[in-house]
Amino acid sequence: MKHLDDKVAAVTGAGSGIGRALALHLADQGCRLALSDVSADGLAETERLLAGRARAVTTAVVDVADEAAVGAWADAVVDDHGRANLVVNNAGVALSGTVAALSTDDYRWIMGINFWGVVHGTKAFLPHLEASGEGHVVNISSVFGLTAQPLMSGYNASKYAVRGFTESLRQDLELTRSCVSATCVHPGGIKTNIARSARVDRSVAGVTGRPAEAATKDFEKSFITTPARAAEVIVEGVRKNRRRVLIGPDARVLDAIARLAPTGYQRLVTGAVRSRSGR
């Protein structure tokens, strides 16, 4: 999709961070926008920021973990805008804790949003994207879908799953000579609310020796790229039909380290966490 002018773009998790920045950037490219989020307040703020900036905007409160709700939203987008050309499955949450301490319900929660949300969005929009004659699926993984971190097993599992799903989807679409393509996005640290709205188990303080709030602040220090820049890189990736998009120098460095030391990188990471916590 070389040109985005007058295309209909649907974005999940558009009430904050990368999703909100994407909505603003896509509006500037001439897109008609269909935005959703589980937070009505977040969506209202995004809509306020878009006033006078977008050709057309519709919003819907949708929980991406709810398959029926995502399906109904996709149908409503086509009813409202006449078609759908682009879906960005962006909504996501974070979870931190040791495997021993996290419950299987914690894993179900994060997989329900980060992985199943992506599957729901892809499946619900795919027929509409095909019908539009020119479509694109963008699924947001993470640099933690390329390299694993201690204390982030649920997040890592969900983001590796998004990567596997999206890379396979891209090949399906090529094999079937579809008019739809797919891109998997791996952001490094982006300055958003993700760490502040994360579920952080007490085991994190036990392992790092830092209270949860301090650990969140430490983590936020590694957020170096703005959401606006992330949105530009994602849209450029769609225009160039990239299979994989890395965002930020930190994502490129971690990707390179994982290629050079596919398992050895783990020792580097645990060493860094240990020295930060003085253990």
Ligand X SMILES: NC(=O)c1ccc[n+]([C@@H]2O[C@H](COP(=O)([O-])OP(=O)(O)OC[C@H]3O[C@@H](n4cnc5c(N)ncnc54)[C@H](O)[C@@H]3O)[C@@H](O)[C@H]2O)c1
With CB under 6 A as the contact rule, the residue among 181, 192, 208, 216 that binds ligand X is: 192
Each residue 50-79 as x (binds ligand X by CB under 6 A) or -, in order, gives -------------xxx--------------
Closer CB to ligand X, residue 77 or residue 132?
77
Q: Which two tokens stand for residue 64?
A: 């991406």
Residue 189 vs 237, nearer CB to ligand X: 189
Q: Which range touches ligand X (CB under 6 A), out of 14-22, 25-33, 173-181, 261-269?
A: 14-22
Q: How far apart are CA 196 and CA 100, in angstroms?
A: 23
39 binds ligand X (CB under 6 A): yes
Does 15 bind ligand X (CB under 6 A)? Our answer is yes
Bridge partners for 244 per DSSP: 184
Three-state DSSP state, 139 = strand
Interface residue with ligand X among 142, 153, 181, 183 (CB under 6 A) is 142
CA-CA distance, 32 to 80, in Å (whole number)?
A: 10
Query: If binding is defined by CB under 6 A, does position 253 make contact with ligand X?
Result: no
237 touches ligand X (CB under 6 A): no
160 tagged catalytic: no
DSSP string covering 57-96, please? EEEEE--TT-HHHHHHHHHHHHHHHS---EEEE-----EE
φ/ψ of 42, rounded to 5, equals -60, -45
From the list 18, 3, 20, 17, the residue with the least C-alpha distance to 57 is 20
x-marked contacts with ligand X along 82-101 as a string, rule CB under 6 A: --------xxxx--------
Question: How many whole angstroms separate alpha carbon 148 and alpha carbon 141?
Answer: 13
We find the least distance from the C-beta atom of residue 176 to ligand X, in angstroms, to be 27
How many residues touch ligand X under the rule CB under 6 A: the total is: 29
Residue 15 vs 135, nearer CB to ligand X = 15
Q: Among 193, 203, 266, 277, which residue sits at the site for ligand X (rule: CB under 6 A)?
A: 193
- Tokens 């999709």 -> residue: 1
Give the distance, in angstroms, between the CA of residue 212 and the centroid of all CA atoms in the same chain: 24
The residue length of the chain stands at 279
CA gap 50, 241 in Å, rounded:
26
In the bound state with ligand X, the residue whose beta carbon lies nearer, of 38 and 207, is: 38
Q: How far apart are CB 278 and ligand X at their closest, in Å?
A: 25
Please calculate the CA angle 89-91-92 and round it to the nearest 5 degrees.
Answer: 120
Residue placing its CB nearer to ligand X in the complex, 197 or 241: 197
Site residues (CB under 6 A) for ligand X? 12-13, 15-19, 37-39, 42, 63-65, 90-93, 113, 140, 142, 187, 189-190, 192-194, 197, 223
Query: Annotated catalytic sites, by residue?
Result: 155
